[in-house]
A and B are shown apart, each in its own frame.
Chain A
Amino acid sequence: MADLLYRAKNVSKRFKVGTRFSAQGLRTVHAVDNVSLDIAQGETVGLVGESGCGKSTLSRCLVKLYHINEGALEFDGTDITQLGVRSMRPLRAKLQMVFQDPSASLNPRRRVKDLVAEPFRIHTKLSEKEIQEKVAALLKDVGLLPDHGERFPHEFSGGQRQRIGVARAIALEPKLLVLDEPVSALDVSVQAQIVNLLADLQQKFGLTYVFVSHDLSVVRQVSTRIAVMYLGSIVELGQADHVFANPRHPYTQALISAVPVPDRAGAEARQRIVLQGDVPSPINPPSGCRFHPRCPRAQDICRVERPVLEQKDGAGLAACHFPL
């Protein structure tokens, strides 16, 4: 493994829902449950899973938008677990996030040049002239025209708005970029443009990505490694090619097989595994292995004992008593 950039160790994040007076009382959602993840310099880690699996919560924990309940976070050699808003600020420049909905993350009343200049005004002491040069260079980097800076966010299409969001995130030359469903809100024909843009920027600036998505084919395209999440935990972690070619966890296998793919010429016939039931509620997760009620391979031990994420006799890690 190349140089370690980020280490998340045994991270848990719980949310309280309801009040003491609501019908079911005060309950706890275990959104992220004992997750450990090491991220190496220059790689792209794909986080996949269905809604409610905790992938977005985990990504927000990584950039400290949420305070974690348990565990430790180490970024670029610094322990950031206990850092507050103020002491985090200098590190923010190196640790940035891109959100799903580009229109919600851009102030509609400000011009694009001001939106993109904001990181410099907050974090640097550059002169106005220097900032303007930087902004012009950034707009060019993300494939926008110089005169786009004068416009407001609503004058752009969804794809262009996401480019603005990316420009803001890379402005201060961060080391790690956490992208939470960056292409999910975009049309298919525009999605590919952003995926390619991210690949170009990664190469140009040596960025490290955490790429969160529910779209497996996009994740496969961008990721070096993949972490599959189910009900708050990572159930499989490994090299992207490996995980897709030889999934070890039954959930991963079912998830990949459930993706409808266009019937291209020369495409191989695929075996579909249709899982029964829905993802259980993270308020009341099942005992033992959390996947056991839907798992075609479940046996008695799966109902009782929770499997740990460990090396299986391949390249990757899987949390399963009976891996494939």
Chain B
Amino acid sequence: MLSVRDLCVSFRTEQGEALAIDHVSFDVEEGEILGVVGESGSGKTVSLLAAMGLINDPNATISGSIKLRGRELVGMRPSALRKLRGRDMAMIFQDPMTALTPVYTIGEQIAEQITTHQKISKRGALDRAIQLLAEVNIPKPEDAIHRFPHQLSGGMRQRAVIAMALSNNPSLLIADEPTTALDCTVQAQILDLVRRLQREHKAAVVFITHAMGVISELADRVMVMYSGRIVEHATKTEIFRNPQHPYTQALLETIPPLTGEKPKRLKVIPGAPPSLFRRPPCCAFAPRCAYRFEPCIKVPSLEGDRHQAACFKVHPPHG
């Protein structure tokens, strides 16, 4: 479905070149949910924005290859990309208020997305919008299409955005922290919704989040990012039951448990993630890693077959 190879994204800034994404490769297969976890600045959002062709900063340099169903997206003409976006791939953003126009009703905004990509009358598009709103569990959808975004609650707005993203039956759906701005009980509703829709529409979903718990509820496969690189990539069960990379292990241990014995002190990862400008020329996690040894002065590559990890402790250097 989506195939990303050796993707690098860097930004020219006053403080120098910031390498946001450093040789990232991954695939998304049909009908699966790929979870991408990482802390702020780890590159999880930028890598998927690049896939959507949404980085049009003149200071950005993108290299590598991004293929959607075999079609190369890097370097594609903006007009051609526009035809794909919204139809073949759609995106759900963290803050639904910024993804919606405050001056048009929900119905008009969903209908616009449909009429842009399909030959359909305005009336027909509005009817379809009602159907979509019903599908995402918005009560009284015939009334809701006449509402403006500010008249809806956060959870309802996010549902409307999801309805909009689904309007053209995209084969790839990218969700960037769609529940982070929501309350816990509403988040549970949205997660249920995403799971149900993914089953019904058989779309491939890339779910970006910083919350390990959310990934655990939803994803089939998980990719852990740290400082612009993928450090571990495996099935969900493998990641949570048998984490290999010291960063993944530490990340899971720092989260206080909700049940069972309460630890006296929480496990801590010392220090903070490196700045994009001053990334060490070694394994980026090495300065904070408890298992650091001599080979770590080099950058480990992602190795392994089904369970991949970028760590010399797991995959000792050759020779």
Contact = CB atoms under 8 A, between A and B. Distances in A.
Contacts of A275: 185, 188-189
Contacts of B188: 258, 260, 272, 274-275
A17 to B, nearest CB: 14
Nearest to A187: B39
A176 B266 CA distance: 23
B237 interface: yes
B183 A262 contact: no
Contact of A263 (B155, B185, B236, B256): B236
B27 interface: no
B187 A258 contact: yes
Interface stretch (B68-76, B86-94, B208-216): B208-216
Interface residues of B, number: 48
Interface string A267-298: 11010101110110000000000000000000
B258 A217 contact: yes
A195 interface: yes
Contacts of A276: 189
A154 to B, nearest CB: 13
Contacts of B211: 188, 260
B250 A189 contact: yes
Interface stretch (B99-107, B268-276, B290-298): B268-276
Interface in A8-58: 50-51
A262 B216 contact: yes
Given A188-B39, A192-B266, A267 B259 contact: yes
Contact of A279 (B183, B212, B241, B250): B183
B153 interface: yes
Most chain A beta-carbon neighbours within 10 Å: one of B212, B216, B240, B268 = B268
B184 interface: yes
Contacts of B267: 192
B189 A274 contact: yes
A221 interface: yes
Contact of A217 (B183, B236, B256): B256
Interface in B221-268: 236-237, 240-242, 250-252, 254-260, 262-263, 265-268
Contacts of A217: 255-258
A256 interface: yes
A187 B256 contact: no
Contacts of A190: 269, 272
Contact of A214 (B184, B254, B269): B184
A152 interface: no
Given A187-B39, A188-B255, A262 B156 contact: no
B184 A262 contact: no
Contacts of B155: 278
A50 B272 contact: no
Contacts of B260: 268
Given A262-B216, A263-B236, A263-B241, A159 B255 contact: no
B266 A261 contact: no
A77 B45 CA distance: 52
Contacts of B273: 187, 189
Given A187-B40, A216-B184, A255-B184, A192 B268 contact: yes
Contact of B186 (A191, A216, A278): A278
Contact of A195 (B192, B250, B256): B256
Contacts of B256: 192, 195, 217-218, 220-221
A188 to B, nearest CB: 6
A299 interface: no
Contact of A260 (B154, B213, B252, B272): B213
Contacts of A263: 216, 236-237, 240-241
B217 interface: yes
B1 interface: no
B210 A262 contact: no
A199 interface: yes
Given A195-B256, A274-B192, A262 B269 contact: no
B46 interface: no
A260 B254 contact: no
Contacts of B40: 187
28 contacts: A160-B272, A187-B40, A188-B211, A188-B212, A192-B255, A193-B270, A196-B265, A196-B266, A214-B183, A216-B184, A216-B258, A217-B258, A220-B262, A258-B184, A259-B213, A259-B258, A260-B187, A260-B188, A260-B213, A261-B216, A262-B213, A263-B240, A264-B257, A268-B259, A270-B259, A278-B154, A278-B186, A279-B185
Given A188-B212, A275-B189, 8 more contacts: A190-B269, A193-B270, A217-B257, A220-B262, A221-B256, A254-B185, A265-B241, A275-B188
Question: Shortest 9 CB-CB distances between A and B: which pairs?
Answer: A260-B213, A221-B256, A50-B183, A192-B254, A258-B188, A192-B266, A187-B39, A189-B269, A157-B272
Interface of A: 50-51, 157, 159-160, 187-193, 195-196, 199, 214, 216-218, 220-221, 241, 244, 254-256, 258-265, 267-268, 270, 272, 274-276, 278-279
